[in-house]
Chain A
Amino acid sequence: MNAVRETYLTDAIGPLPFCPGCGHHRLIKALDKTLTKLQPDPKKVVIVTDIGCIGLADRYFVTHAFHGLHGRSITYACGLKLARPELTVIVLKGDGGCGIGGTHLLNVARRNIGITLIVANNFNYGMTGGQHSVTTPTDGLTATTPLGNIEAAMDLCGTAIAAGAPWAYRGTGFDRDLTDRIADAIRQPGFAMLDIWDMCTAYYLPRNQLGKKDLTGMMERLGLQAGVLIDRPRPEYGEQYRNLHEISEQVPRKRPEITPKYTNTVARQTGVVIAGSAGQKIRSAAGLFAQAGMFANLEATQKDDYPITVMTGHSITEIIISPESIDYTAIDSPDYFVVISEDGLEKSWGRIAKLANSATLYAEESLDLPATDAKVVRLPFVATAKKINRLSVGIVALAAMLHDTGMFSLDAFKDSITVLQKPAIADVNLQALKAGAAIL
């Protein structure tokens, strides 16, 4: 079909920009050779880079080229691969990029997203003037470690393997079989990385008087091995993701519709506060009440307040119901205040004390209340609920309040429960509704 490509590099923008002798040359040539061997469609290959001298390389390829922020190339590569799984996505990254973007290295290895990572590891930041990086060997001399590096060098492959990388190779730019190993990496369905050591001739080499052979010596000195360090394939993330959602039956359930069909006696915007404890299903009961209002042709809003540690302390919900659209959604002066538990009372103490004399307070009868101008109605919410289910206390209290106020018919509340809840739970709540309405 298409003619065989003799190179995947273009000279459209001139020769590679690196310093004479820079190891990045060797690496880019090796990648070019690999691609030439594999002959992929350039439109199906993306070279992704970050900032750094190595990051200058992407646009010299005839493939797609994506040049992103310092240390973040892995994230763009993952986005590209997840969106278009058919693409071969190759990241070229410096040792500097591996430092600032360390978490992305850990996480791509852990998730096993099928991209290839090639680290051009020259033990320093070439682009910014030879400062030390996470891979600068101990004692290494750099612009920022003029007395010798006292930090330990990071084992990039070891780190990625510990995080779950299924395929990793460490070598140098001089390795005879480098193109074969890069090809192996590209062929992996999952995440594969190559940590390729080489020279920054402008900074690291002159300061540390490194020769070609010294790279392998350095590995030995650091106790690091060369070669393929792991080859343990496991399912690729994107493939798993697609399979999982294909077979999953938990396709989100459509929310049942609310049909306004009851009348109401609510003449103006009315604020209801219900204060209880975590674990009393306050939010759910209040939501059902608000939606009951919607069955009765009212507009509604709901706001919940509870501690970040959701299973302790208070749970207070504010409901507004109104015959007109609701603009201001705070309740500065509640019309009805329902308090069910100590936690709710404690948190609302000041607010209850300040209730207007036009307000009504519906309180669990066992609570000691603050003095208030509101009309107070004390009722056995907890005892009533106990006979049905402790968790139905919110419904009991709201049913009692609704029955007393006559804002709208209990049938609307009944509809809200039956339409919106699963049958088993609805059953309990319908009993609670009946019992609550019967208290008064």
Chain B
Amino acid sequence: MEQQQLYTVTVYSENHVGLLTQIANIFTRSFINIESLTVSASAINDVHKFTITCFSDVKALDKITKQIEKKVEVLKAYYYTEDEVISREIALFKISTEGLMAIDAIENLVNKFNAKILEVNRQYTVIEKTGVQDEIKKLYETLEPIGILQFVRSGCVSITRSKYEHLSDFRLTIDDF
């Protein structure tokens, strides 16, 4: 078995209904758990982009991306290791304002964790934190003793370290086929 590590799979597709389940199914068939998934527009007109993270290896992902590309509405699928992409997640925390005051942590939070206060009232405070998964985890651990009333974390969004959307190359050559 090759070493498992966190990969980001990017899928470029037409914006058609039903594609999400088909792509998810391909992961399921190979028994790979999707860690996070987001769907958004891309920098190319009319092209949608799935950003999927999962623990896997090169061999499996090679097969999976080819299976994904077999879907008629998919333009292209790529996979990247963590250091090939810049990734961010966003998390929202709701904690009791009283508790937060008691430990006098607000300034610390904003400075040390580079977090944002979105809303404060007598009952609760909503904090936003954007960052990599580890940073969010650290903030979670810091806030946990106060009592987290609600928590939500987004899927991962990533951008490659290359200049353009990778697909741009594909689009230049597509007329050749």
Check if A and B associate.
no
Residues on B facing A (Cβ under 8 Å): none
Residues on A facing B (Cβ under 8 Å): none
